[in-house]
Amino acid sequence: MTSESPPNTEQGAASKWREPPSDLPFFAGLGILAAFYVLLITAMLAADVSFAAAEWRKALASLLTEEIKYAIWLSLISCSITTVLSLWVATPVGYLMSRTNFPGKTLVDAILDIPIFLPPLVIGLSLLILFRQTPLRYLDDRFPIALHIPAVIIAQFSVASAFAVRTLRTTFDEISPRREQVALTLGCSRSQAFWLVVLPESWRGLLTAATLAWARSLGEFGPILVFAGSTRTKTEVLPVSVHLELSIGNIEGAVGISLLMVVVALIVLVVVRLLAGSERVARS
């Protein structure tokens, strides 16, 4: 009998019921790759901490200067304003893209992704050129925007809202339209169905979008550098501070400010995870 037709032999039966290969190599491979990336992240943070710990007096002194205090406040305020603006725009855009079909939707979808793919410096340069052209030039001449604080917020908003739109579109995609339809039969208009049914259900997506927008804004550097400039105690946000400290050779100061940003980002991340997690636990 050939090896291709073994069904009645004992050997054939044994090969038919052979145990599948072990899963160990698969999970070991996954584990090694995951561990490599997690270690890279933690090692970077640990290096910052150990560097700042060795030079903690200088790092701390940098954080206590008037310029950095200003940068901290400007960062916190501008990021918060940007987050509100981003959600305000991203919620309707995300809903529209999720629930409606219209001619040119694919093109609009691609345009909405441009800020994610465009190099940050190019976004800053594009904003600068845009605000030097009519009609925005007239606005800029009367109410200074470019190279002033509004430019910081516009630069942050241009990038952050693209991430918020993407997040909220996915959120709305995942919410079944069936509940909205039921709300319509119960007497709601489309607007009422959105406010009373869709929006409360999408709170976790809104929270994620807000966190992402806030974190992106906090770390935004390229567009701000070009469009808002890097003038101390004027358009200086924390990433600009890191750049300025590095440019004058104060590495300890730059690391101190970086660690401050890491701590703030971690606090936001943990608070959001706790909020989202507590609801998930309650549901399960």
Partner 1 sequence: MIETRNLVVRNGEFTVQDANLRIAGGKYGVLMGKTGSGKTTLLEAICGLKRVVSGSIIVGEREVATLKPGARGIGLVPQDGALFPMLTVKEHLEFALRVRGWSSADQHRRVDELSTLLQIESLLKRKPHQLSGGERQRVALGRALSFRPATLCLDEPLSALDDDTRHEMVELLKRVQRETGVTALHVTHNRSEAETLADIKLHIVAGEVMQVEKFPAPHIPLAP
Q: Are 161 and 90 in contact (CB under 8 A)?
A: yes
Regarding 192 and contact with partner 1 (CB under 8 A), the answer is yes
Q: Are 242 and 225 in contact (CB under 8 A)?
A: no
| Least distance between partner 1 and beta carbon 168 (Å) | 17
How many residues in the shown chain lie near partner 1 by CB under 8 A? 20
Of the two residues 67 and 201, which places its CB atom closer to partner 1 in the complex? 201
Regarding 178 and contact with partner 1 (CB under 8 A), the answer is yes
Question: Residues 118-156, buried b or exposed e (16+ Cβ, 10 A)?
Answer: bebeebbebbbeebeeeeeeeebeeeebbbbbbbbbbbb
Of the two residues 50 and 176, which places its CB atom closer to partner 1 in the complex? 176
Regarding 9 and contact with partner 1 (CB under 8 A), the answer is no
Regarding 283 and contact with partner 1 (CB under 8 A), the answer is yes
Q: Are 120 and 159 in contact (CB under 8 A)?
A: yes
Only segment of 72-80, 103-111, 163-171, 194-202 that touches partner 1 (CB under 8 A): 194-202
Only segment of 19-27, 154-162, 192-200, 247-255 that touches partner 1 (CB under 8 A): 192-200
Regarding 281 and contact with partner 1 (CB under 8 A), the answer is no
Measure the CA–CA gap between 70 and 204, rounded to whole angstroms: 32
| Least distance between partner 1 and beta carbon 189 (Å) | 8
Only segment of 80-88, 119-127, 182-190, 221-229 that touches partner 1 (CB under 8 A): 182-190
Q: Are 254 and 245 in contact (CB under 8 A)?
A: yes
Regarding 100 and contact with partner 1 (CB under 8 A), the answer is no
- Work out which of 189, 231, 247, 278 binds partner 1, going by CB under 8 A: 189
- Work out which of 30, 182, 263, 270 binds partner 1, going by CB under 8 A: 182
Q: Within 55-104, where are the H helices?
A: 56-63, 66-99
Measure the CA–CA gap between 20 and 199, rounded to whole angstroms: 47
| Least distance between partner 1 and beta carbon 198 (Å) | 10
- Residue found by looking up tokens 């309650």 in the block: 282
What Cα–Cα distance (Å) separates residue 240 from each residue in 67, 166, 248, 261? Answer: 11, 27, 13, 12
Residues that bind partner 1 (CB under 8 A): 176, 178-179, 181-189, 192, 196-197, 200-201, 203, 283-284
